[in-house]
Amino acid sequence: MATTTADTIRFIEAAAATIAENSAYLTRLDAAIGDADHGANMQRGFRAVLEKLPTVAEKTPADVLKLVGMSLVSKVGGAGGPLYGTAFLQAGMAVQGKEALAPADVVAALEAALKGVVSRGKAEVGDKTMVDALTPAVAAARTALERGEELDTILAEAAAAARVGMESTIPLVARKGRASYLGERSAGHQDPGATSSYLLLKTLAEVAANQ
């Protein structure tokens, strides 16, 4: 099953709705170990994305992803903007020029997104960041692809792995970002960036299941 521009736009619209629905929750998580603005910042960024989506309706999936990336970089404050912006920009570059995306292309886009986040944020698994959710998710997607699974299964397994990764951040002591300033006091709190990463991957899986 190929993922078209229309499918990509449906995912972005669903992602914006998911972030809006969970904005207060994400901000509560961020209040415990950050600046208490992750949810509001992400919602503002995706609101800007929605305003610009019509401009890429007739273009490629890569154009949609790059529009999202540029919008998030310009509109989302804190670390979230550069990190998520880089993720979407790198995902778009990985599938540049393709009119529709095969499952292998989607997995390649996810791998490029993770690589971009790691390169930009210099974080690794165990640092209590979005990387803790994204790394196992991308690994699960690659494994499912190599088993020959369809896209909906690939993304469902990625989302399930992201949830486990998200929950694994609770006992960790943060080593990156604002949360790292708290030292041992950051333990016992779920990382907001890992949470928003899981929510976006869960939404992607749900959109793929309904294609």
Domain residue spans in the chain? Answer: 5-209
Q: Determine the average pLDDT of the residues in 186-200.
A: 96
Q: How confident is the model over 146-174, as a mean pLDDT? A: 97
How many percent of the chain have pLDDT more than 90? Answer: 88
Q: How far apart are CA 165 and CA 2, in angstroms?
A: 28
Under the banding of pLDDT at 50, 70 and 90, the label for residue 145 is very high
Name the average pLDDT for the chain.
95
Instruction: Assess whether pLDDT exceeds 70 at residue 33.
Output: yes
Residue among 58, 90, 98, 60 nearest 72 (CA): 90
pLDDT band per the 50, 70, 90 thresholds, residue 77:
low
Q: How far apart are CA 165 and CA 70, in angstroms?
A: 27
Task: Provide the residue count of the chain.
Answer: 211
Alpha carbon separation from 114 to 7, 34, 50, 104, 156 (Å, rounded): 21, 22, 23, 15, 17
pLDDT score of 181 more than 80 = no
Q: Once rounded to an integer, what is the mean pLDDT over residues 174-180?
A: 83
What fold does the segment set 5-209 form as a domain? 1.25.40
Is the pLDDT higher at 2 or at 168?
A: 168
Confidence at 179, pLDDT banded by 50, 70, 90: confident
CA dist 109 and 7 (Å) reads 15
Q: Determine the Cα angle at 112 with ends 109 and 115, to 5°.
A: 155
Question: Is the per-residue pLDDT at 55 higher than 70?
Answer: yes
% of the chain beyond a pLDDT of 70: 100
Give the range among 12-16, 26-30, 79-83, 84-88 with minimum mean pLDDT: 79-83
